[in-house]
Amino acid sequence: MILLGKIVLGMAGVGLAGASILCSEGLVHVKVIEKQPQGVHINVIAPAMLAPIAVHLAPQRDLAQAARRIQPYMPVIRAALDGLRDSEDVVLVEVKDPREHVEVAKSGGSIVVDVDDDAETVHVSTPVRAISSTVEQLAAVNSSPLYLQPAAPSQQ
Amino acid sequence: MRKTMRRRTQTAAVLCLLAAGMTALATPAKAAPAERYLHVNVEDSAQGESVKVNVPLAMAEKILPAINNRDLHDGKVTIHNAEMNGVDLRALLDAVRTAPDNEFVTVKDKDSNVRVAKANGNIIVHVIGTKSNQQTVDVTVPLKIVDALFATAKDDQLDIAAALRALSDAGDIVLVTVHDSGQKVRIWVDSLNTQE
């Protein structure tokens, strides 16, 4: 009985540790509500750590072009993310007109984008650390010389 | 006996933790310098539109040197001779800097009145539209920022990054206001992270 208890406790501990690691970079929250009567409601909360993992597991060949394009901007992206990480919570941009309200803010270590217009309400929240890891992962694809080769012309 | 010892040890450990916590709370936290923000506010009352931008200056200072594009490198922008039109900007600004507070330029025409002056360590540009053009523009640039633009840059460069640093150190200041019949634009620096 005690042994069973220990096994259950061990499994719970492993589960808790796994969940903690998975959520260590925070959570990505995407919420879309269409304002039509039959409109779609989407609400996704996922561990942010999945994003860099997804980039890591994605076929590198498919990411090579995106990686090449992002490469020249990496110093600016790094500096911006670094600055955002260190800054206090702040509404960076707010645009209002009679039909639309857009807000981009830094809140609690995340970048939060809210859009509210006649058709839908969109809320996206992504931890800065996760954006940073994902972008770095994407940029690292480029460092592999294998993927820097231009695609060979197809022989028909 | 062993049980009593263990209980005493546990009590001592808890007391030590409490004491450490109290000491940490009692120690005054080292005050970090308040973050400074560059704010931009555009309001179009005719269209019912508004745009608000709040940029932490520290963030801008980090980003700017990372941008290397065309004439902007390492936070410095190169001004080509053609754009200077043969005017020695450094000499011109040095003359303004060392001159006493005064009104330097006054232009009056049928569309606007323009006034450029130096007052209280600031260069002030004031434009008032007349009759057809009811626009008012006020620009205030602290001389410290002008100095920073030229301090470390080469002859044909402006050190934007240094100017941003100087802007961080300057007090709360309204840099630009533009008013016309429908729109209001305001650019200023302060320590608040909102525009309320």
In this predicted model, what pLDDT tens digit does every residue of B139-173 receive, in sequence order? 999 988 988 888 876 777 888 999 999 988 888 99
Instruction: Identify the three-state secondary structure at position A72.
Output: helix
Q: Does residue A19 fall inside a structural domain? A: no
Q: Does residue A15 fall inside a structural domain? A: no
For residue range B50-76, list pLDDT tens digits in order. Answer: 999 999 999 999 999 898 888 888 888
Q: Does residue A117 fall inside a structural domain? A: yes
Residue-range definition of the domain harbouring residue A134: 25-142
Q: What dihedral do alpha carbons B46, B50, B51, B54 form, nearest 10°? A: 130
Question: What is the residue-averaged pLDDT of chain B?
Answer: 82
User: Which of B160, B163, B164, B167 has the alpha carbon at shortest distance from B68?
Assistant: B160
Q: Which two tokens stand for residue A119?
A: 């058709």
Question: What is the ipTM metric for this complex?
Answer: 0.74
Q: Does residue A10 fall inside a structural domain? A: no
Residue A114 — pLDDT band, cuts 50, 70, 90? very high
Report how many domains make up chain A: 1
pLDDT confidence of residue B1 = 53
Residue B4 — pLDDT band, cuts 50, 70, 90? low
Interchain CB distance below 8 Å, A90 and B54: yes
Option in B48, B50, B63 nearest A83 (CB): B63
Q: Does residue A4 fall inside a structural domain? A: no
pLDDT confidence of residue B42 = 96
Residues of B near A (Cβ–Cβ under 8 Å) read 35, 37, 47-56, 58-63, 65-68, 193-194
DSSP-assigned states of every residue in A91-102? EEEEEEETTEEE
Residue A151 — pLDDT band, cuts 50, 70, 90? very low
DSSP H or E run through A41: strand A41-47
Q: Does residue A113 fall inside a structural domain? A: yes
Option in B56, B67, B68 nearest A87 (CB): B56
Contacts of A71 in chain B (CB under 8 A): none
Q: pTM higher than 0.80, yes or no? A: no
Residue B3 — pLDDT band, cuts 50, 70, 90? low
Mutate to test the interface with B, among A71, A73, A74, A76 (most CBs of B within 10 A): A76
pLDDT confidence of residue A156 = 39
* Angstrom distance (rounded) from CA B180 to CA B171: 27
Q: Which two tokens stand for residue B152?
A: 């470390």
Exposure of B91 by Cβ count < 10 A (0-12 exposed, 13-18 middle, 19+ buried)? exposed
Q: Does residue A153 fall inside a structural domain? A: no
The answer to whether A36 touches A120, Cβ cutoff 8 Å, is no
Mean pLDDT of B77-82: 74
Q: Does residue A1 fall inside a structural domain? A: no
For residue range A69-85, list pLDDT tens digits in order. Answer: 888 899 999 999 999 99
Mean pLDDT of B116-132: 87
Side chain identity at residue B164, one-letter code: L
